[in-house]
Amino acid sequence: MWGGRYKLGPAEIMERINASIGFDKRLYAQDIAGSMAHAEMLVARRIISAADGRAIRRGLAQVQAEIESGKFRFSTKLEDIHFHVEARLTELIGPAGGRLHTARSRNDQVALDVRLWVRDALDRFDAMLLDLQTALIDRAEEHAATIMPGFTHLQTAQPVTFGHHLLAYVEMFGRDRGRLADCRARLNESPLGAAALAGSPHPIDPRMTARALGFDRPMANSLDAVSDRDYVVEFLGAASLCAVHLSRLAEEIVIWCSAPFRFIALSDAFTTGSSIMPQKRNPDAAELARGKTGRILGAFVALCTMLKGLPLTYGKDMQEDKEPLFDAADSLELGIAAMAGMVRDLKANKTRMRAVASADYSVATDLADWLVRKAGLPFRQAHHVTGRLVGIAHERGIDLHELPLADMRAVEPKIDRGVYRVLTVEASVAARKSPGGTAPANVARAVGEARRRFLPARRRR
């Protein structure tokens, strides 16, 4: 591989630590696409002959077919996917295969391959998150009026609707898609043409290869082109936050499935049993989506740590970008797919949700708000009055709506019988009509708005 400078082969341990083919073979399609574009440019600029260009294209197509059919033989002796493709190409077409690397280095080649791979991953994840949002929006529409408890500190706070709760995650995943789109826009520049680090003496046309590969433009600085991995860090950062959002929803699914809550049930498709306890139904898909978050966050930290001490331009350390990248992408893909499946699979226990939403004096704030609106009390005074009434009800073991009017008036004489109209969970959620609030009518409108904002026309109903 190294031409005339090296007389001896590498030590066995050197071969092992240096080889990346075990993981970078995933880049074969991007490597071949880049090579195709590079060959076309070399022909157009008369750096290689048209005949050599045709042979290269034909040979690369055969190499790709061999890889995709499983017939291609990989070896650590050829180190990486770039050498594998070039070596097999030369076997197939002879000396013309060696001309492909004219005006190109593995440095700009791998920078291109990884950039193309991340771009493909970004497009794939946008489509997957769109599918997850679609599932959430559909379920939110179904449960626009399904009452459940809203929590702060995991304590019952105020009634909300299940649809409203699910739409919160639609917003989160919408922001995730926005971050992925931002990353894609910034990475969409081609490093090809930077060669090793300083550019090429050949009359190349980087704009031609950039256009052929769907990039907006070639990168402006050759040093930056081969050393930049910002787009990998940015992708892993966006993936990390997306994984956190998946984990939060997964945690809620785990809680909601538990016996003390019983808000939802998952089918056999997304649960597992116990080897010893036959009654168990474990929400393992949710737990694994939650658990994989650490791997994705770890990949982000690993890449930042690898890059932080590197001078320009390329260091072999940068080979360590791929395994964390691939592992994080695989983990995120599983997590998104599993979550979309669970959202579509879950069955809501409406009776149980409403029962818990009605407990623990969840309409106390509605009483305080009524005292402000109808009795004219300052909110702090209304808060104090409500607290006293909650205390009395708690001592008697009854709900607020079960307190006799006379007992309420003994605490605050301005209270009249109209107060009982606000002391139900249905009245509570219906009253919250402020923008972004949980009123069922709001949720129904928000579903339509979410479809317009996030879903392409073919997915709207």
Tens digits of per-residue pLDDT, 226-278? Answer: 999 999 999 999 999 999 999 999 999 999 999 999 999 999 999 988 778 87
Task: Find how far residue 225's CA is from the centre of its chain.
Answer: 26
Name the band, by pLDDT with cuts 50, 70 and 90, for residue 141. very high
Query: What would the pLDDT profile of 411-456 be if each residue is shown by its tens digit?
Result: 999 999 999 999 999 999 999 999 999 999 999 999 999 999 999 8
Looking at the predicted structure, is the pLDDT value of residue 52 above 70? yes
Name the band, by pLDDT with cuts 50, 70 and 90, for residue 317. very high
Q: What single string gives the DSSP state of each residue in 178-223?
A: HHHHHHHHHH-EE-TT-TTTT--SS---HHHHHHHTT-SEE-S-HH
Give alpha helix (H) positions in 261-358.
Answer: 284-291, 293-307, 322-345, 350-358
Going by C-alpha positions, the residue among 129, 191, 207 that lies closest to residue 318 is: 191
| Average pLDDT of every residue of the chain | 95
Catalytic residue among 49, 258, 267, 274: 274
274 is catalytic: yes
Task: Find how far residue 461's CA is from the centre of its chain.
Answer: 25
Q: What pLDDT sits at residue 47? A: 98
Q: What pLDDT sits at residue 16? A: 80
Q: What pLDDT sits at residue 18? A: 75
Q: What pLDDT sits at residue 14? A: 77
Query: What would the pLDDT profile of 64-100 be if each residue is shown by its tens digit?
Result: 999 999 999 999 889 899 999 999 999 999 999 999 9
Looking at the predicted structure, is the pLDDT value of residue 156 above 90? yes
Catalytic residue among 153, 202, 227, 247: 153
Q: What's the CA gap between 94 and 88, in Å, rounded?
A: 10
Region at 204 (left for phi over 0; alpha for psi -120 to 50; beta for the rest):
beta
pTM: predicted TM-score of the whole model, two decimal places: 0.93
84 is catalytic: no
